[in-house]
Amino acid sequence: MSTKTVAEMSFEEAMQELESVVGQLESSTVALEDSITLYARGEELKKHCEAKLKSAEEKVAQITLGADGAPSGTKPLEGL
Amino acid sequence: MPDLIDPPNLGENAPEFTVSEISGVVKRLIEGEFSHVRIRGEVGRVSRPASGHLYLDLKDDRAVLAGVIWKGVATRLRHRPEEGMEVIATGRLTTFAGQSRYQMVIEDISPAGEGALMAMLERRKKALAAEGLFGAERKQPLPYLPGLIGVVTSPSGAVIRDILHRLRDRFPRKVLVWPVPVQGEKCAASVAAAIAGFNRLQPGGAVPRPDLLIVARGGGSIEDLWGFNEEAVVRAAAASTIPLISAIGHETDTTLIDLAADQRAPTPTAAAELAVPVRADLLAHLNTLEARRIAAQESRLNVRRQRLKDLARALPRPIDLVAGAQQTLDNRALRLQAALRAVTHNKRQVFARASAGLRPNVLKQGMGQSRHRLATLSAQLVRALGQVVQQPRTLLKANGAALRAASPARLVAAQNERLTRLSAQLDQAVRAGAERRRTQLDALERLRQTLGYTQTLKRGFAVVRAQPDGRIITHAKEARRATGLDILFQDGAVSLNGSAGAKSGGKRAPKSDHRDPGQGQLF
């Protein structure tokens, strides 16, 4: 298993590990004790992925440029 | 164009011009007549001296026109003229009186039509490809789900709207727009600066750094899209460390930035589709995984539960396991008691038999016999010992006698005795020898005296010798010849001279007793 905690994972990492965990759970070679750990890990990963999916929000901003042409900040871009 | 400078009158009295005057007239005429012209031709030799001005020739199959683009104009050109390019140059004609030349001062120059532009594009593409800017090994993978998407495009217009709409449909994300003009002279420089600017943003800075860039523009003519073919834009896109999607024009339009981008989208909408997955799909997939996870564990538990049940059913009752053994134990216990009794009985009988013969008399009898035998053997032993000693003792005695007999003292005495005897014998032998030899000597002496002439002398004979040599004279003749004679008698010699001797030769006259000298002379 990854050394990263689930909370640190990107959506993609969490999703990949969840797929791997489910794959292992479905294989008959995993011992019962290990399967319980995997099951709990899967639960955690699934919650993390769900949270990531639900947190999706749209926010559009536009760069404002300073006199030197470098970005000085952002301002909301509206009306689109 | 000689007709242009023909003097108005061809008469004899035509005015005379100096060279400068005529040059000035020509200049005025040309510059006045051709203050604004558009000329189509092929670019010939191009030179770019350090001054920044740009000199080039415009030519067709029969004529050549010298041209100059002043520095200020040259820097503003959208397309740098390259040799062989078909162009349309806009400007005015002017003369250069010092060399009797005329030339065109070019204010603008652009490729003449699409074919010329495409040819130029092809050359640039080859050059950049040769540098490896379009290589597949440079392509970066796009993030699966970018948190922030940077978009380089015009903030107003359909393009950004299309992108945002599609993102909203699929997976609403944060979007940061870097506004740029998407056509015109400033387009290329602005787009290049925007890509580089996004890359310079640091994670966690005042302006957040995007995980993905989209460079987008709507459809247009090839000239409209030209900015995205410029080298600066291509290089900025190739250098971007943030994965970059290009979406320029419509599906059929291909610009050079498309080749340098990590992904090319045919349209801005398609760019949004490449940028994010569909949230609903992900949710569905997540739900599927969830269902599989639960089902897998459920099934695992069920299988084990069933197995446990089956195994439990197959387990026999404990009482059944031990019943057989219990019965065997009881049986053995019963047999054990009987067997113990029987064994004790047997052993007791054996003991009784053995102890019956075991009494003191038996022992005593044995001891008596043994004692008697011991005495006998002791006696034998003493005797045998005596015998054994006797023999060496006899031998010792005999050897002692022999040893005494062979004593050295005895040997010496015997030898002494023998020596004495032999000494006596020796003395006797020596004495007897001496006696015998003396007798023999006396006899020999007598014999000698008998045989010697001295005895003859006693009987009246004499020895006559000649003088002076002493030789024996045996004949009368000799005596007569001799000067003197010595006559030896029994008791000495007498000397005679001359005649005497001759007269009385043979007469012996022994008068002297010089016997010894006579004898010495004789022998």
- DSSP letters spanning B289-357: HHHHHHHHHHHHHHHHHHHHHHHHHHSPPHHHHHHHHHHHHHHHHHHHHHHHHHHHHHHHHHHHHHHHT
Out of B177, B207, B300, closest to residue A73 by CB: B207
Largest CA distance in chain A: 66
Buried b (16+ CB within 10 A) or exposed e, B426-449: eeeeeeeeeeeeeeeeeeeeeeee
* HSE-up of residue B500 (Cα within 13 Å, Cβ side): 10
Mutation for testing the A interface, residue in B207, B214, B278, B285 having most A CBs under 10 Å: B207
Q: Both tokens of residue B504?
A: 């009385």
Query: Are B357 and B365 a contacting pair, CB within 8 Å?
Result: no
In a domain, A1, yes or no: no
**Count of CA atoms in the C-beta half-sphere (13 A) of B191:** 35
d(CA B220, CA B512): 211
- Tokens describing residue B272: 């949004």
Query: Is the Cβ pair A53, B286 closer than 8 Å?
Result: yes
Does residue B511 register a pLDDT over 60?
A: no
Q: For residue A70, is it within any domain?
A: yes
CB B196 within 8 A of CB B136: no
- Please tell me chain B's helix, strand, coil percentages from 3-state DSSP, rounded to the nearest 5: 55, 15, 30
Q: What is the mean pLDDT of chain B?
A: 85
The residues in A 26-65 lying below 8 A from B, measured between CB atoms, are 26, 28, 30, 32, 35, 39, 42-43, 46, 49-50, 52-53, 56-63
The Cα–Cα gap between B193 and A65 comes to 11
Q: Which is more confidently placed, B1 or B307?
A: B307
User: Is B289 in contact with A18 (Cβ distance < 8 A)?
Assistant: yes
Is residue A80 in a domain?
A: no
pLDDT at B512: 46
Number of domains within chain A:
1
CATH number at residue A49: 1.10.287
Q: With cut-offs at 50, 70 and 90, classify the pLDDT of residue B354.
A: confident
Q: Where are the alpha helices (DSSP H) in B34-131?
A: 71-74, 113-130
Spatial contact of B147 and B172, defined as CB atoms under 8 Å apart: no
Distance set, CA B329 to CA B175, B334, B336, B339, B343 (Å): 89, 9, 10, 15, 20
SS3 B222: coil
Please count the other Cβ atoms lying within 10 Å of the Cβ belonging to residue B95.
18
Given an 8 Å threshold on Cβ–Cβ distance, is B174 in contact with A60?
A: yes
Q: How many CB atoms lie within 10 A of CB B306?
A: 10
CATH superfamily entry for domain B139-277: Succinyl-CoA synthetase domains (3.40.50.261)
Judge if pTM exceeds 0.80: no
Q: Is residue A15 part of a domain?
A: yes
| Alpha carbon distance B409, B145 (integer Å) | 144
Nearest to B120 by CA among B146, B89, B87: B87
CA distance B89 to B39: 5
Q: In chain A, which stretches have pLDDT less than 70?
A: 1-3, 79-80
The matching CATH number, chosen from 2.40.50.140, 2.60.40.10, 3.40.50.300, 3.40.605.10, for B11-112 is 2.40.50.140
Task: For residue B196, name the pLDDT band (cuts at 50, 70, 90).
Answer: very high
- Domain with A69, as residue range(s), is 6-74
pLDDT of amino acid B471? 83
- The answer, for A77 touching chain B at a CB cutoff of 8 Å, is yes
All residues of chain B having their beta carbon less than 8 Å from the beta carbon of residue A32 are: 300, 304
How confident is the model at residue B505, as a pLDDT?
A: 43
CB nearest B300 (choices: A32, A57, A59)? A32
Note whether B144 contacts A11, CB cutoff 8 Å.
Answer: yes
* Token pair 């459809």 in the structure block, residue: B219
Residues of chain B contacting residue A14, judged by C-beta atoms under 8 Å apart: none
Tell which of A41, A43, A49, A60 to mutate to test the B interface (max B CBs under 10 Å).
A60
Interface test with B, best of A18, A22, A24, A35 (most B CBs within 10 A): A22
Asked if the Cβ–Cβ distance from B197 to A71 is below 8 Å, we say: yes
More confident residue, B502 or B28: B28
- Tell me if residue B230 falls in helix, strand or coil: coil
**Closest chain A residue to B197, measured at CA:** A70
pLDDT of residue B220: 83
pLDDT tens string A47-66? 998 888 887 778 888 888 88
pLDDT at B422 over 90: yes
- Tell me which DSSP letter residue B95 carries: E
Contact A71 B207 (CB under 8 A): yes
Q: Which of B6-15, B140-149, B221-230 has the lowest mean pLDDT?
A: B6-15
Spatial distance between the Cα atoms of B172 and B316, rounded to a whole number of angstroms: 65
pLDDT, tens only, B249-269: 887 778 899 999 999 999 999
**Residue B151 distance to chain A (closest CA, Å):** 9
Q: pLDDT at position B448, please?
A: 83
* Radius of gyration, CA atoms only, chain A: 20
Residue B123 contacts residue B75 (beta carbons within 8 Å) = no
Give the CB-side neighbour count of residue B311, counting CA atoms within 13 A.
6
